[in-house]
Chains A and B, each alone.
Chain A
C-alpha cells in the first residue's frame, strides 16, 4: 500500500539549513540530507504563505491538513495517547512561533515533521526515558547476543505481515528500540540523521535498529503462532 499523505523522506526535497529546532534553549544537531526534488503544490503554498503572514484561518487549515500525520508520529514514538496529544499541541505551537522562518528550502511537510520529531525527542530527554532506554538498548543481554539461535525456516514469518499486528508489536517495543525503529523504518530517517538527533554513533543507531527488528520478529512470530493455534 503506497504511502500517500506525506511522501517518504527519500522523495522529498533538499534541506539546507532551514530545518527547525525546538524552542527550549537546547539545540539538537540537524543533519543535512539530500533528496530528489518534488513538485510544489500551489494550493499548499498559498495557505502556507497566508499562515506565515499571520492568517489564523490559514494556520487552522495547515493544522487540519497535517494533524493526523503529526499525531501519528507522536503516538508511535511515545505510545501514549495523552502524551501524543500534548506533543502534537506543542509541535503546532512551535510551528506557529517559527512558521515565518520557513524558507522553503525543503518541503513544508518535511520541515514540520522534523520540528515534531525534535519536540518529541526533547520531551523524552526531559523525562529521561530516551537516554535511559537507549543505554539499556545498547547493553548486550543474554537473549539478544549475536550467538542467539534465530529459529528455523519453518518458523519464518509468512510472506506478508498483518499491519495491525506490526503496529501492536511496534507499540510494545521498549522505548529506545521503538524510537529508532519508528524514525528509521517507518519515518524514513537515515542512520546519520538519527545519530545526530539522538547524539549517538551511527553504529549504535544501526545496532539498535537491528535489535528492534529482531524483537519485532519474535513478537510477530509469536503472534502468528497464536493465530495458527486459534
Chain B
C-alpha cells in the first residue's frame, strides 16, 4: 500500500474493515495503522472479539429432560398418521 493508503482517513480505513478482517489479508501492516492508534485499537479489539467467538464452546445448559419425550411422542404421532402427515 502506498502514499494514498497512508493518507487514508480513519473513516475510509474503517469503511474497509468489514472486508479486510477475516479476509486473509494482514491488516496489521496497513500503512494507515502506523500513524493511527485509534484504528490500531479498533482493529485489535475486533480481532480479539472474533477470536474469542471462535473459541466459544456450545453453551453448558442442556434442553429440559422432557424434551426427548416430546420428540419421541411427536415421532410416534407422525408414524401413526403416515408419511403424508408432514406434508
Q: Does B52 contact A (CB under 8 A)?
A: yes
Nearest CB on B from A3, distance (A): 6
User: Could you give, for residues 2-19 of chain B, a 1 whenever the CB lies within 8 Å of some chain A CB and a 0 otherwise?
Assistant: 000000001110110111
Nearest CB on B from A11, distance (A): 12
Does B53 lie within 8 Å of A85, measured CB to CB? no
Secondary structure of the B side of the interface? Answer: helix
Does A3 lie within 8 Å of B74, measured CB to CB? no
Does A152 lie within 8 Å of B18, measured CB to CB? no
Given A5-B57, A185-B54; A150-B42 close (CB under 8 Å): yes
Does B52 lie within 8 Å of A163, measured CB to CB? yes
Q: How far is the CA of A64 from the CA of B71 in the complex (A)?
A: 12
Q: How far is the CA of A76 from the CA of B46 in the complex (A)?
A: 20
Chain B residues 27-81 with CB under 8 Å of chain A are 37-42, 44-46, 48-50, 52-59, 61-64, 67-68, 70-72, 74-75, 78
Chain A, Cβ-Cβ closest to B18: A210
Q: How far is the CA of A151 from the CA of B39 in the complex (A)?
A: 9
Chain A residues 210-230 with CB under 8 Å of chain B are 210, 213-214, 216-217, 220-221
